[in-house]
Amino acid sequence: MNGARLRTWRSRRGDQCPSYDELLSSVRVHHPAVDAVLLQGAYAEAARWHQGHLRRSGAPVLAHCVTVAAIVAECGMPPDVVCAALLHDLEDTDCPPERVAELFGPYIADLLRAIPTAPLDMPSAAALGIPGDAPSFEAAVLAIRLADRLHNMRTIAFLSQAARYRRACETVDVFAPLAHAAGLHHVSRELHHLASAVLRSPVASYAVTGRTLALLALLLPSRQRSRWQEEWTAELVAHRTRRTRARYTLRVLWHTPRLSLALRRPVEREQS
């Protein structure tokens, strides 16, 4: 096998990446006759093109690829789909697309091309079927997408507040239901748990209501916006619970149109 093997890697937050041998063992649970040469080749290719590349968490990109592949293997996907999971981030490198087809065949190359753009829908989820069965092309792509999202949710703390909220909403609305429809209930539960933790956090609540107030300020005359947004934000911070912050934001939402009209007609207001 070319290149050094990735040892079991653990981040500062305790996120752990399986070693290559652990990945191979996961594949063999559902596919005892796995072609280890194919899997080794995909691992070596991923290690080659991701060498020196790090994620926001400080983890090697290769660790992410191996973790995604391990999740796919635990879902019972066949070895060629696991190989595609190992290679799923090659689009972010200088690896020529035709190289994958030459080394691993057209099926894996087609999977990699489809991953970024394939629709996420219930028919694909239903087609995942029973672990060990040959999945449809769409189901194989979906399995990789779900595994990728699951690991990204495990490391979501390294994203900005706004990005965490957007990703958590999408996970609850799209990815968790798809995983449930596919029969991957353990994946669905973890996705929902991780996303809900983000959405329940005080930081997320402040981010949502704060953005709402910023949008409402756009209804006011330009010279008045910063003053009122600062005043609203100061009062928002004084509310200690999510419920009271939401109620305050609703009150601002209700009164902003009338405030906007009043600020745009100062002369009429003074005469009344």
- Write the pLDDT tens digit of every residue in 55-87: 888 889 999 999 999 999 999 999 999 999 999
pLDDT at 129: 54
| Of 35, 92, 102, 230, catalytic | 92
Instruction: Say whether pLDDT at 103 is over 70.
Output: yes
Q: Give the pairing of strands 9-10 and 16-17.
A: antiparallel
In which band, very low, low, confident or very high, does the pLDDT at 206 lie, cut at 50, 70 and 90? low
Q: Which amino acid is at 265?
A: R
Query: How remote is the C-alpha of 160 from its chain's centroid?
Result: 13
Indicate if 15 belongs to the active site: no
pLDDT at residue 112 in the model = 96
* Average of per-residue pLDDT across 194-217: 73
Closest CA relative to residue 178, chosen from 123, 115, 117, 113: 123
What is the rounded (10 degree) CA torsion for 120, 123, 124, 129?
Answer: 140
Q: Are 141 and 124 in contact (CB under 8 A)?
A: yes
Q: Which of 21, 35, 91, 173 is catalytic?
A: 91
Helix (H) or strand (E) holding 10: strand 9-10
pLDDT digits (tens, 9 = 90+) for 145-191: 999 999 999 998 888 777 888 888 899 989 999 999 888 899 999 99
Check whether 268 has a pLDDT greater than 80. no
Q: How far is CA 24 from CA 32, 38, 61, 176, in A?
A: 10, 11, 19, 27
Average pLDDT for residues 44-49, to the nearest whole number? 96
In this prediction, residue 4 carries a pLDDT of: 36
Contact between 84 and 111 (Cβ < 8 Å): yes
The angle formed by the CA atoms of residues 6, 10 and 13, to the nearest 5 degrees, is 155
What is the spatial distance between Cα 59 and Cα 83, in angstroms, rounded to a whole number? 20
Cβ atoms of 75 and 187 closer than 8 Å:
yes
Element (H, E) at 9: strand 9-10
pTM over 0.85: no
Q: Which two tokens stand for residue 42?
A: 């995909």
pLDDT tier, 125 (very low <50, low <70, confident <90, very high otherwise): low
Beta-strand runs (E) in 64-207: none
Pick from 13-17, 34-38, 239-243: least confident: 13-17
pLDDT attached to residue 110: 96
Longest dimension (CA), the chain: 88
